[in-house]
A and B are shown apart, each in its own frame.
Chain A
């Protein structure tokens, strides 16, 4: 089938912009809104996934950790006083569940305390903060992307495919002549910078996010 695969089918691009902040989503989820809950999942699942990957929890173990984390959040919903602290809470629960699972499996990871992911660090170590800041920035960028008109958003999605697409391929899929890709990209990025989500990003970490 020769369909224009602009967005991967499993890419979750919730329709209708990103006006709702975390506090609103939490309040609506408390009221029983599955849609609000799903939006919270979209926002924070990449954080949970990246932590599990970092602690090398995979396969069925990752399924268990992931499920436990979200079930815990369901229980915890009514006790969230400060919705902005939610990413930190989720990260802490995920880390603890990863550690427990590693202990449960009797895994002894080679212990270089400088690098071992199982080395207990306080939850507000620079490491943890950097992780959360990067995640927050990533989330804001994705939110910013959602504020763009579909054509510009689709172009940026094509330009950020991994592995990268050729300009000929981008042209074919976007319907833009190769000569228009550069100018359209420039306008799309300019508009991205003017989105509310992007402007809310006050302090770029230091440009390097890895």
Chain B
């Protein structure tokens, strides 16, 4: 090990070979990253908000066990969120996104995506609301006013 290796670079100490192989493997996973994934990951930081209450995802129809999927698949995608104040249910119905707030209240509900696009709507007295469309990419919902809160990011 103390001897200098011969001048032919193809001759390699087996321990060195192992480290080099591992290094190659480690580097390949670093080199394989899509630049646009790096870009998206970095710019996610601009969505850091310290002060809004984060609601919790409590139900996602896609998390239903695989064994009952054939029945579930016929149903629309549904998500539920909860905060200390109440709950927010969202359902994807074709191109529309409907939902309702409990306890029922008239409030502004905003859907936003990471590109900065937003859609806003008002809930009615029963807490029901309806977005006429959706937004591309992961989105989150915010309730403004009483019971204000923001959901985690979800892919609809």
Name A's interface SS.
helix
Please judge, given known A-B contacts A104-B155, A160-B23, A192-B19, whether A182 and B44 are in contact too, CB under 8 Å.
no
- Residue B95 lies at the interface, judged by CB distance under 8 Å to chain A: no
Query: Any chain A CB within 8 A of the CB of B54?
Result: yes
Cross-chain contact of A67 among B45, B54, B60, B137 (Cβ < 8 A): B137
Q: Are B62 and A12 in contact (CB under 8 A)?
A: no
How many chain B residues sit at the interface, stated as a range, is 35 or more
What 0/1 readout, one digit per residue, does chain A (51-73) give for beta carbons within 8 Å of chain B?
00100000000111111101111
**A101 CA to B38 CA in the complex, in Å?**
20
Q: Given A75-B54, A75-B153, are A67 and B44 neighbors across the interface (CB < 8 Å)?
A: yes
Taking the closest CB of chain B, its distance from the CB of A87, in whole angstroms, is 13
**Docked CA distance A189–B12 (Å):** 11
Q: In whole Å, how far is B44's beta carbon from the nearest beta carbon of chain A? A: 4
Asked whether A189 and B16 contact (CB < 8 A) given A11-B31, A41-B38, the answer is yes
A-B pair count, CB < 8 Å, reads 166
* B96 interface residue per 8 A CB criterion: no
Q: Kindly report which residue of chain B lies nearest to residue A93, judged by CB atoms.
A: B152
Residue numbers in A under 8 Å from B60 (CB-CB): 100
Q: Are A167 and B20 in contact (CB under 8 A)?
A: no
CB of A156, distance to nearest CB on chain B (Å): 6
Evaluate contact between B16 and A72: CB separation under 8 angstroms. no
Contact call B36/A156, Cβ cutoff below 8 A: no
Interface bracket on A: 35 or more
Q: Are B29's CB and A37's CB within 8 A? A: no
Flag if B26 contacts A45 (CB, 8 Å): no
A-B contact pairs, 30 of them (CB 8 A): A10-B31, A37-B42, A42-B38, A45-B37, A45-B38, A45-B41, A46-B29, A64-B138, A66-B34, A66-B37, A67-B41, A67-B137, A68-B153, A100-B63, A100-B155, A101-B155, A104-B77, A104-B155, A138-B26, A142-B27, A160-B20, A179-B9, A182-B12, A183-B4, A185-B12, A185-B16, A186-B4, A192-B23, A193-B19, A207-B18
Interface positions of B (Cβ within 8 A of A): 4-13, 16, 18-20, 22-38, 40-42, 44-45, 47-48, 50, 54, 60, 62-63, 66, 69, 73, 77, 114, 137-138, 140, 152-155
